[in-house]
Structures are given as C-alpha cells and as structure tokens.
Structure 1
C-alpha cells in the first residue's frame, strides 16, 4: 500500500512554477534535465544549462515589456524549445497561452486575439504564416519569436536573438530573474489553455500557479518518481496532460526525453528506454492491435504459444488480485512464458518501464488486463483541463483496473445530481477567460466544479467513469445508452479498429460507424492478397466487411439486447485532426462525424 499523505502538504507548497524551476536548477545543477533528438542522435542538457538558457530567454521577454499575467502564446509541436519557452514565460511572470500546431489560421487568430497575446513563440514558417495572415486582427501582438522559421530581426526574432536581448537586459538588471519569480503569488495566472472543444469556439481555461505546483508536489509526495527516473514525453504540450508532466518533473527532478513525433513513439521507446510515460488510450490500443495481429500472422505454434501465454498470464493476475495463491504448476508455466513471450512485449517499450499513465479518454479494461499480464502496468487517471489535468489516478501500489483511481490527496471528488462527477481542490481553474456566464455554469452553488461526466465511487474511494452526460442518449424504447462503453469494448475486440462510433438517439435501435487503422490494414492487405491497394479499396472489400462483421457479432454477444448494433458501416477514411473530426488530443468530435454522415446514418432507419 502507498504511504499515507497528509493533505496538509498543500499548505506548504512553493508559491509558483518559476521558483519551483529555480529550486530544481539549484538542487540538481549537474543532473540531466532534458534529452532531445538532433537528426538521428539524441542530445542531452543538464539543469544548469537549461536554467541559464531559460533565464536569458525570460530576460528577453522582460526586455520586450512583458508584465505579470500578460499572455505569451506558444504555437508549436512538442519539442525541447516548447519547454524552454514555457519556462521562460513562467520566470518572466507572464502567462503561457497554448495553440496546437494543427489549429487552423482562423482559430489561431481567435485564440491569440481573445488572450490579447503580447508575444508569440511560433515553431516554423507554417505557424508564422498563420499569424501573418491575421496580423491586423491582433492589435496587442508586438513580437513573434520563431524556433525554426525565418526571422527578420524586427517583428520576428529567432530564439537566439531573444536570448541575446536577454543578455543585455541581465547585464543591466542582474537580479531581475530571482526578484521577478519571488514576486509571483500562488493565485496568479500561469497558463491559458484553450480547450480544443468538440463543439463551438475554444474556451480559454485560466489555470493558476498553485494548481501546477500542487500537481507536481503531489506526485513527489507519493514517492513513485525521483531523479533516477526517465520520462519519455510526446504528448501535445498545448494539452493539460502534457503540461502537468512538466510540473511533475520540476518537483521530482527526473530527466525527460522529448519528441512530439507520434509516428516515432515506438522507435523512440526502444532507444530511450524510459521508466514511465503518459499517453492517450489510442496509443495502447494501437500497440495492442499491432502485437495481436503480428502473432496472428505468424500462425502455427508461435500463435498457439502466444495465446496460451496470455491465458496463463490473465489467470495468474486474477488469482493475485483476489489474494489467492498461485499453484506451483501455474507459476512454472508463467515463468516460462515470461521468458518466451512477456519479456518480448516489454522490450517493445524499452524494457525498463515501471508504469504507464493513461489519460484524456477511457481505456478499455481488457487492454489494460492484456498488458498487465505481460508485466506492464497501465495506471489510468482522470481529469480535465479545468482542474489542471489530474483529479484522480491509480497508484502503483494501490490500483484497480477499470477504475481511474482515488481522488488526489488535498482535493475532493463527489457524485452529484444525475451521477455527475464533481471536484474541489487547489487545482481548479479560476474560470473561463472573458466568459463569466460560462464560468458560473461550470460550478455548483457550493463551489464544486461540474465535470459533465457520469461516474461512481466505491467504498474504498475508487472512481469509475460511466460515460459523458451529454453523450448519453435514449432510444425510442426508453433505454439509456452509454456510447463510450460500447465503443471501448469493440476496440478491445477488433485489433484493426481505429474508431467505433455508436448512434441511436430517439431511434428504435442502435447503429455504428466504423473506421479501421490504416497501418493495421496495410499489414492485413499484404497477408490477404491486396498488397498495394488503397485504403478505400481495402475497406470496401467484401472480405474486410465479413471480417469486421464477425467482430460486431462478438461485440453483440457481450451487450444487453437494447444495446446491440443492428446496422453498421465502414467509412472510407480514418478520422483525423486535419479533417476536423478529431481534436488535437485525439478525442472524437462526435457531432462533426454525425453531421458529416447524417444521410448515411438516416439510411440505416429507412
């Protein structure tokens, strides 16, 4: 069991992220802080080196006139320079405003305008072009700093040019960094994260220094991570899940290898060999699908050994969780399969992972069970941007697969009217930027944050998510359907599935739209005589429809009669961020998909 944490630790927190960073640099000056790719190699920097560069950049921002709580945007993919920019903004007492690199120019302009950003860090020429296209709509914007784009030395500076300005400013104001950091109160605005939103315009969530400091300190108090650990970070830094892991790093002192290229995750894990990583469930779904389909392709004895190994692994897991002894014969089998099968699965992730943290959407428990049987622990957590990412999380020594863990010490979770999960604590937002009415709606009369999610708490305090309130629908027969639960079950069953979307509001039966994973289907095509065929031709083939139909039948066997999928169809494309059907954090924009396919859905009921 984990050590008991006194909730009173909240009363003794470092006031702000800036001091948290300066303290880490002073505590671990010569330890590795960050590792990042340069070409095909990885370079490493210490905390001392990072601190010196961040201080120069922060002084550069102060030389540009940045004042406390003034917003500074970052429009960039996940990379080392993103972290440098964010930390520099913290040291300059500004407020980081995040913009996903995939955000279109109109929404980029809306965010920068609504936030009244004075300075923007733009990754490259593509991000610079978005800003230039709408520069007339951004009266507050003075300077743009680019990581890789073309800098003219006036309105657009390079990172090196900003640091050079900082050198001049520091020569004139040698104690300005420490003085500025010490003047930042805990309730000062630190970050303005615009939720990508599944409907409507993005809303700016006002997050304070105390929220980030609390999240980091809590992880340190739990004693699960320290300076000996190595994180692999690929998550979008414009998302709160990625951002909160930076706070954990400052508090705990572990090193972070950072590379936001999603297509390189598996390769990077093998090279970096991290001890932990945060990820969205889609990453585990894809890894599970890849492992299962590769073994199926092997066929013969290898596939039989693989199948038997996971039968034994799940049986041993179940006995241990029930507190029962494992028979000797089963222990011997388990040890043999660990050498033959489980160790190879672990090696795909670098071989050193202590645990993964899964968040941002529901993880199917069958997929969690699969990896757990191989000795890979996935700790599912829960939270929102509105509460600085973390509200509940499982602990390595106290977890329950299928739940999202217990409320974080120092905060509270309750189940309100309509089974809504409600949260209170030091990590809660100060409100939505420029939206007082929306802010009022987000809280109960007694000050608890409304999450919009349905859930339940068991006697030990473990929280289980049962659905999104606005996603629940009722059939014309009066039965309530929780789409996300059905969708997760299908993705655990079908290793070729990418998305499975359930519809049927006020209809007499439930239907589904299905997309298949392009990588998995390319492999399937090679094995089924369709090598080189287009994705569209593959998914339209009768053989694929028959294969998917078999998985739908398996799903229906596990559902209540009123939940079963009566009709379904395959889309000729996978959902993407670029198409507007996924948010940058890989959540499905259900309303967009439904609107785009309204005629197809209606035809199911004709």
Structure 2
C-alpha cells in the first residue's frame, strides 16, 4: 500500500508544522554558559528560517541553487538548513572535519552560491580557491573579515537583511515555497566514501518528506518524545531525523558535542536517541569494564544479571513466554544492575536506534537484556538514510528490520540488496555514467551490500559486496561480521580491522579504548603510563590474544585470526582511516599501517 505523504516539499512540511503547533517546543540548544537547554518554539523557528530564506533570496539564491553548510551540529545548522529550503535552494553538506582540498571540491562541484561557515577557521578552508559560483560567506560565529576575497557577513546580518525584505514583501517566502515540488532538488550530500573523491548525491524533497512520514508510521517517533540529536547533520542520518521531527512535531535537543553526550544524557533525559554503533559500544565497554574492575561480588552480580537478561531476551526473540521465575529474577537484575545503566542514559529512553554501520548482535543483545532495546536500521546516503528498521514492538536482533513505508526491495542473484522507491536519489551530481551504473534496468538502486530477506520481510546484512575478503585459498570472509564479534568479546576494543585479501590467512589490527585500557592498567606496573606505552606492553598483547582465542573458537577455520597487532593510536577521520559516520576506510588503514600488516605476513607465501 502506498504511503500517504501530505507534503509537496520540506518547507511545505515545515511551515505546516509551524502553523499547526506554533507555541510548542521545537528545537533546543545548550545555553552559552552550559546551564541547560534553551528552547525555541516552532513559531520562533519559523520566523528565523523565513528571515534567513529572505536574506538568501536577496543574495540571488533561487530554485534548486546549492548553498553549502560547513559546520558542526548546532541550532544554527538547523536554522540555516530550513532557511535554504524555504528559499528554494538545495542544502549542500560539508563535514567540519573535511580537509580544505575536499571542501573546495564539494563547494566547486556543487556550484554552491553561498557558504554558511561555522567560524573564520572553517571559512578559511576555501580561501583563495577558484569558486566562480560562490558569492558570499555567512559566519555562525566570529567576525567577518573585510579584506576577504568574498564578502562575509554574520548570520545575524543575513537575518536582518531578510527581515527588511519581508517587511516590504510579507508573502515572499510563502510564494517561493508554493513553487517547490516533490521532484525538486532538496540536498546535495557528498558521500565521504570508503574510497575515492566524494560524490554528490542528489536527493529530492519528495524523498525526505517520505522519510519523515515513514518514521512516524512505524512508531519510531511520537509527539510526546524528546529527542537528543547529536549526529552530524552533514550526514543523511541526521537529515532524516530532522524530517521526522518536523512531521511529528516532537521537541529535539541539538548538540553536536560528542564529548559531552554521556554527561548531558542525564540532564536532557531524552526518550529517543539515534546513533552510530560506536556510541553503544562505548557504553557497553564502560559497563563491562567497570563491573570487572569492581571484582568480587560486584562482578559476579553483574555477570548473573546479564545472563538472566540474555535468557529473557532469547525467549522473547523466539516468541516464547517468559516463565514467572525468570521474570522475577529479571526484576531483581534490573533493580541491582540494569537500572544504573538506564539512569546513565537519562532514565527515560523509549527508543534507541543504531545506523550508519553494523551493530554487533552481542552488543544489541546486551542492551536488550538491560531493557534498552536498540532498533537497528539500514540505509545509504543514496537512499536518504532510512530504508529498513526494526519496529520497537517487533525487534529481531541480528537484522536491520523491515522495509519502511512502501519501499520495494529484492535480493539480486549474487545476493546484493536492491531497493526502489521515493527516498532513492535522482543520481550522482555531474556523473551520468556512475548514475547509470548504480541502477538496474528496471530502476532498482544497487546498494553494494549483501543480504537476505526472511519470510516476514526482515533484512539481514551479510557484508559490503566490495569489502568481502577472498583469501588466497579461495575462501570468502566477511570482515565486519568478525570485527563486530570481537568488539563484543573484548570490552577494551575501540576499532578492529580484519586483513586477508589475497593472503593465505587472516590477521587483525586492533585499537583499544583509551579510557578503558587505562582502567585496566590501574593497579599494575603500567598504571599512569600513556596509551602507546600501555598497548605496547607484553601484558596488553597477551590480554588481546586471549580475547582473539575466544573469537577464533566461534569462527570457521578459514576465518580464524592467526596474528593480531595492537596499533599505537586509534583510527582517525583526519588520517583517512574512518569516515565521519565512523565507517572503516579499509584502504586508508591498510596504507597507513602497511608495515604493521607486512610484519604479520613476513616469511609466508601470502603475497604469491
């Protein structure tokens, strides 16, 4: 059955929300002194977005004209995005961690007319570049440079210009919005990609509106929820959550300071939070290592509670009744152990959603055992992020859930997942040949992921088609599956990367969580040393190898990890080893740590 989407465009949806609930809380941001959230109503959001739109209109931004945002997740990002939409423009996203070369490529390739930059340092990334389409830079923070080659103004300046324009022509933005339809360009999101230069993904208004309605249809979002939005808004996952919040009208706290996330969860007390698996892995690591370091009775009670929770989850997953005795033991486990973890996340969580990368089933089971079930989802930048998700009342651990809305899906002969529907991109910007190659003859998008659909429509992802490793013995290995297993087994892990392509056995590079490993070292001769010294110690190597042995006991012979190397630092976005959405860039890792990899294969025939 077709999903009913009652909007022509994002600004149509936004302005209808403003009209329907003008005085309801819409978006909040941290106070300047960090004393708590500062809320804006939908009416206030509407006024400011319209002023920004009118200001952009005065700078020459019209229908489908790209406008770039280069900033961290913050309330000004949201306001600028709605302003661009209401002006008829197309938001072009640039991660704040993007290097100048790629930032210039994105602004140039998109043909962006205006750039919103977080501060002068971000604006400096495009200084001196040949960008003939770009006419102005708008700063969220800082003072405009009068000597800059391109005119600079503050966001407040832009809003003032827009307010003057609206005073002269009050219906200006309403008339512009009336001319925006579902097939007009809404966003250009450049895939950070695990290889190659970023490609601009053209996503339309109709697809984003579909996303907002589909999330509510599944029960993921409710108007009585409070959302904590920290995800990068430069990423499609963040954008789809903005659309859902607008359709439903739920209040959303916006704060991209990831280092403050855990502390602020207890202050904001959200009922809804979405994130990448790394956030849930860190919470898991902290819970397990804290219990283990407590030793004695504390560690035993924790282990008992987790075991009770897992038994309850196993029965629920199998569709079986939970016996009264187990229900009673679980209530005790929740009071003694799980209530503390629930409190750490604010004590009001109704829905957690994980996306952007695979979530280990073991970690998903742990959270479900703690009565904090994670609805894992799946989608790509090219398909507006949200395609499949586990419904809150129908969680199946190890799957990414069912197709959202009326999205079509089929599995190709080689196992590749193919999707077709409104959230799928128009194409890659200025890349007609790559666009054509991305679709089947009957219009299905080739996701590049391998998976299976069960009889109930739940999708299980096996691996990235291009990431499957084929050993020199001809056996296929799925790296992300093994990496996820290891993260669940070893609570000190930050990242794990399986190596094995064209080699005669598999090896693994591992980085450890700095906080967790310092806790592990406390009370030993390694206490007080820095990360690099701790992980280089024989004791750390022995500890990791013991966890690898546990991993190998669960793997097929050809999948087992024969050697492991602990890296002297964590993987970083800046060094090209992970994407901003925290996916591993395997080529970057293998290039940067080639000597460490070579040592694990020294003296073998792996290269033949």
Give yes or no for the alignment of 1:530 onto 2:526.
Answer: yes
Distance 1:588 1:146 in 2: 32
Please state how far the C-alpha of 1:152 moved relative to its aligned partner: 4.4
Please state how far the C-alpha of 1:133 moved relative to its aligned partner: 4.0
- Look up the SS of the partner of 1:418 in the other structure: coil
Root-mean-square deviation (CA, aligned residues, Å) is: 1.2
**Which string of whole-angstrom CA distances, capped at 9 and with x for unpartnered residues, describes residues 176-233 of structure 1?**
1111111101100000000011111100000000010000011222344222111000
1:40 maps to: 34
Please state how far the C-alpha of 1:598 moved relative to its aligned partner: 2.0
Give yes or no for the alignment of 1:202 onto 2:198.
Answer: yes
Structure 2 contact 69–91 (Cα < 8 Å) conserved:
yes
Matching of residues 260-275 of structure 1 within 5 Å: 260-275=256-271
- Look up the SS of the partner of 1:58 in the other structure: helix
1:596 maps to: 592
Distance 1:33 1:522 in 2: 41
Please state how far the C-alpha of 1:329 moved relative to its aligned partner: 2.6
Matching of residues 13-28 of structure 1 within 5 Å: 13-28=6-21
Distance 1:527 1:17 in 2: 56
Q: What TM-score results when the alignment is normalised by the length of structure 2? A: 0.97
Matching of residues 219-238 of structure 1 within 5 Å: 219-238=215-234
1:311 maps to: 307
**Which string of whole-angstrom CA distances, capped at 9 and with x for unpartnered residues, describes residues 16-61 of structure 1?**
0001000000111111001111221221111111111111111100
- Look up the SS of the partner of 2:419 in the other structure: strand
Distance 2:577 2:323 in 1: 50
- Look up the SS of the partner of 1:88 in the other structure: helix
Give yes or no for the alignment of 1:405 onto 2:401.
Answer: yes
- Look up the SS of the partner of 1:326 in the other structure: coil
Distance 1:528 1:428 in 2: 54
Structure 1 contact 297–527 (Cα < 8 Å) conserved:
no
1:125 maps to: 120
Distance 2:269 2:337 in 1: 19
Q: Structure 2, unaligned stretches of length 5 or more?
A: 604-608
Matching of residues 390-539 of structure 1 within 5 Å: 390-539=386-535
Structure 2 contact 3–405 (Cα < 8 Å) conserved:
no
Q: What TM-score results when the alignment is normalised by the length of structure 1? A: 0.97
- Look up the SS of the partner of 1:459 in the other structure: coil
Give yes or no for the alignment of 1:542 onto 2:538.
Answer: yes
Aligned residues: 597
Residue 184 of structure 2: which of 182, 188, 200 is its match? 188
Distance 1:254 1:426 in 2: 24
Structure 2 contact 317–396 (Cα < 8 Å) conserved:
no
Structure 1 contact 128–149 (Cα < 8 Å) conserved:
no
Q: 1:402 to 1:527 in 2, by over 3 A?
A: farther
Structure 1 contact 57–163 (Cα < 8 Å) conserved:
yes
Distance 1:528 1:253 in 2: 53
Structure 1 contact 229–254 (Cα < 8 Å) conserved:
yes
Residue 2 of structure 2: which of 8, 24, 46 is its match? 8
- Look up the SS of the partner of 1:363 in the other structure: coil
Distance 2:576 2:588 in 1: 8
Consecutive aligned runs of 4 or more in structure 1 exceeding 6 Å deviation? none
Structure 2 contact 219–392 (Cα < 8 Å) conserved:
no
1:113 maps to: 108
Structure 2 contact 72–232 (Cα < 8 Å) conserved:
yes
Q: Structure 1, unaligned stretches of length 5 or more?
A: 1-6
2:359 maps to: 363
Distance 2:48 2:356 in 1: 32
